[in-house]
Homo-oligomer: A and B are copies of this chain.
Amino acid sequence: MKLTSVLSLLTAVTLTTATPIEVEYGNETLNRPLIHMTPTYGWMNDPNGLWYDSKEELWHVYYQYNPNDTVWGLPLYWGHATSKNLTTWTQHDVAIIPPANDSGAYSGSIVVDYNNTSGFFTESTDPAQRAVAIWTYNTPESETQYVSYSTDGGYTFTNYDQGNPVLDLNSTQFRDPKVFWHEESQKWILTVAKTQQFKIAIYSSTNLTTWTHESDFEREGYLGYQYECPGLVKLPLPKNDTTSTENVLSYSNGTLVSNNTVPAETDKWAFFISINPGSIQGGSSTQYFIGDFNGTHFVADYPNTNVIDLGKDYYAMQTFFNSPDGDVYSIGWASNWQYSAYVPTDPWRSSMSLVRKFSLEDFQANPETRILNIKSTPVIDYDVFNFGETFAYENETLNTNNTLHYDLAKNFDGLVEFNLTFTANSSAYGNHDFAGLDLFLRGDMNKNEYLRLGFGANAAAFYIDRGHTEVPFVSSNPFFTDKVSVNNQPSEYVTNEITKYKVYGIADRNILELYFNDGSQVSTNTYFFTGGNFIGEADIEVAADGVFEIEDFQIRQMTLKL
């Protein structure tokens, strides 16, 4: 490990080699998502350097970017986009440029160095804009951690040439540094993956350039081939939502206790680790652990692993530094390395997930046990939309002979959201019956292309089938799993026999995000219909009588205001 202590003011040297090559792209297919961030052209993977500029009130997202092709390749840049509303995005020029054509500015993070601990800034840079990027410099010989800083609000970065690399383990498998400010110890903390050792190294620093190794978190969860993209965030424990003082909730070691003499914890730490390849879903996935972090070591309350999104398209999740309200906001890469190079979009490949707010909840994992769970809430600014008609339905028991059918507007923009709350009555079906509730979302030009979503009461699981399309990629690619499921506990036990479930869904041209029971579980999956065949019909059908009552169903189309 190479440590430096060069803290004097540095000469800014903007990296200028390896500018994008001019390439010709084909005609754009018509199904570019509206509110899921995509690069204008070229290849994108991991989200990087997420931060909030409180001076400009602007959210910055960077990303692994190959502008020269629609597949991954070197040189690899940090692409850059910003948003005022976390819903629509403006693309900018590349922000970090790798010094050589056979190298990459691999994944990393950005912090705001308000107090100029690094010494990189003068008074001419507003404290709220003192962005310091810590990222992995990948060459054929090694992966080391580099520091760069921006004096123009995050649009261009200057390499810390005098001190880079700030971390060097003489390894080719050492990457994805994520830095945050640890208030309790008054230090910067960096987590970084020793990928093939299944270890996340934790370092501390007072100046962002000299780093001290504190501990390794190793071999928890499911290993797959390697660990990538670590992240450590503090989340407040759920608040007591009752008014009775006798029911004050308190926590000890992450477990809800009723004994008020136990000193109450107020927050927990969540440790995120992405694995690829070799996740159990196949390919890429992000897991997490909940526990305590003391400034040097993370210890999980229990060694059990959790998966932050159970779909096939959510990876390399990173959280924002410095959110204005102190809440934890995140973005994941909405694709899967198993098939990301072949998805039928042009002249770009892949999108990000929606921004999600994370919070801890007491999750009823089964009737006997509650566990701490991360709940995901999508962040959407509805002011940016014009809306189509809202179709609604409520308080009706569905049977096999009454199907709900909604003709949405034709030639709308392909962005649709729905809310479905229903109950299932377990006394109304037997072991022979398939007690399923289906929601079909069909194309407006070609209704043979559709998404089938639903709930199987016998299996106590929601399902998604994205296989019904005429796009050849979907059937021919052997890794593009069509049927994905999510086990779900009820959001409410209405009676012993009647249980309630909720799902919120948003389909954005080629990506579907499903939030079950107010975000207790999430499944993100891309889908591919023929260009321009947007969702324009919805049907709800049930496979058994007397089982399902629709408490509330609403669906509407949305388009961006001009």
Complex contact B479–A485 (CB within 8 A): yes
A312 closest partner in B (C-beta): B483
Complex contact B283–A281 (CB within 8 A): no
CA of A482 to CA of B312 in the docked complex: distance in angstroms? 14
Chain B residues near A479 (CB, 8 Å)? 456, 459, 461, 463, 483, 485
Complex contact A277–B460 (CB within 8 A): yes
Complex contact B459–A226 (CB within 8 A): no
Interface residues in A210-232 by Cβ distance below 8 A to B read: 218-226
Complex contact B303–A456 (CB within 8 A): no
Task: Tell me, yes or no, whether A30 is within 8 Å of chain B by CB.
Answer: no
Given contacts A71-B432, A221-B304, A365-B225, is CB(A478)–CB(B465) below 8 Å? yes
Name A's interface SS.
loop
The interface stretch among A126-134, A335-343, A388-396 is A335-343
Complex contact B281–A280 (CB within 8 A): yes
Most chain B CB within 10 A, of A371, A463, A480, is at A463
Complex contact B485–A282 (CB within 8 A): yes
Complex contact B173–A368 (CB within 8 A): yes
CA of A128 to CA of B485 in the docked complex: distance in angstroms? 46
Complex contact A73–B478 (CB within 8 A): no
Complex contact B367–A224 (CB within 8 A): no
Given contacts A277-B461, A431-B341, A487-B277, is CB(A365)–CB(B223) below 8 Å? yes
Expressed in whole angstroms, the minimum distance between the Cβ of A447 and any Cβ of chain B is 17
A171 closest partner in B (C-beta): B368
Task: Tell me, yes or no, whether A445 is within 8 Å of chain B by CB.
Answer: no
CA of A430 to CA of B432 in the docked complex: distance in angstroms? 50
Total A residues in contact with B, Cβ cutoff 8 Å: 71
CA of A371 to CA of B226 in the docked complex: distance in angstroms? 12
Given contacts A225-B365, A302-B218, is CB(A342)–CB(B481) below 8 Å? no
Task: Tell me, yes or no, whether A477 is within 8 Å of chain B by CB.
Answer: yes
Expressed in whole angstroms, the minimum distance between the Cβ of A517 and any Cβ of chain B is 14
Complex contact A304–B198 (CB within 8 A): yes
Task: Tell me, yes or no, whether A72 is within 8 Å of chain B by CB.
Answer: yes
Chain B residues near A226 (CB, 8 Å)? 366
Interface residues in A170-199 by Cβ distance below 8 A to B read: 173, 196-198
Interface residues in A300-328 by Cβ distance below 8 A to B read: 300, 302-307, 310
Contact pick for A366, options B196, B300, B432, B461, CB 8 Å: B196
Expressed in whole angstroms, the minimum distance between the Cβ of A195 and any Cβ of chain B is 8
Complex contact A461–B282 (CB within 8 A): yes
Task: Tell me, yes or no, whether A295 is within 8 Å of chain B by CB.
Answer: no
Complex contact A461–B431 (CB within 8 A): no
Q: List 17 A-B contacts (CB under 8 A).
A: A196-B367, A218-B302, A219-B303, A220-B302, A220-B303, A225-B366, A282-B461, A282-B483, A282-B487, A303-B303, A305-B305, A338-B456, A338-B485, A341-B434, A342-B434, A454-B478, A482-B483
